[in-house]
Amino acid sequence: MCTASVCGICQHKSWSGCSNSDPNHIKKIMNTSSKSDWCSCLPFDEDDAVFIDGTSYPPRAGCGYRRASDSSINK
């Protein structure tokens, strides 16, 4: 089971846990916070990108890098 985590890069909410990132776990964790609190980092690897039901979720904590312009956290 994945757990909520704080991204060390942008200091926003992320997740960590299952090595194979179960979408249901991620969804459950992230949906308890509003999207504006979510980690806005981009995944290092395309394989780490998380898309669930058409929504883009943050990559696992520690698996992302800061967006070029991280002043805006839309999308």
Instruction: Considering the complex, state which of residue 2 and residue 50 has its C-beta at the smaller distance from Zn ion.
Output: 2
Please, are residues 54 and 23 in contact by the beta-carbon 8 Å criterion?
A: no
42 binds Zn ion (CB under 5 A): no
Q: Looking at beta carbons, which pairs linking 43-50 to residues 24 or more positions away fall under 8 Å? A: 50/21, 50/23, 50/26
> From the list 30, 41, 42, 50, which residue makes contact with Zn ion (rule: CB under 5 A)?
41
> From the list 4, 25, 28, 73, which residue makes contact with Zn ion (rule: CB under 5 A)?
25
State the number of binding residues for Zn ion (CB under 5 A). Answer: 11
> From the list 6, 9, 20, 47, which residue makes contact with Zn ion (rule: CB under 5 A)?
9
Q: Strand locations in 1-75, DSSP E?
A: 3-6, 13-16, 42-43, 50-52, 55-57, 64-65
**Site of interaction with Zn ion (CB under 5 A):** 1-2, 7, 9-10, 17-18, 22, 25, 39, 41
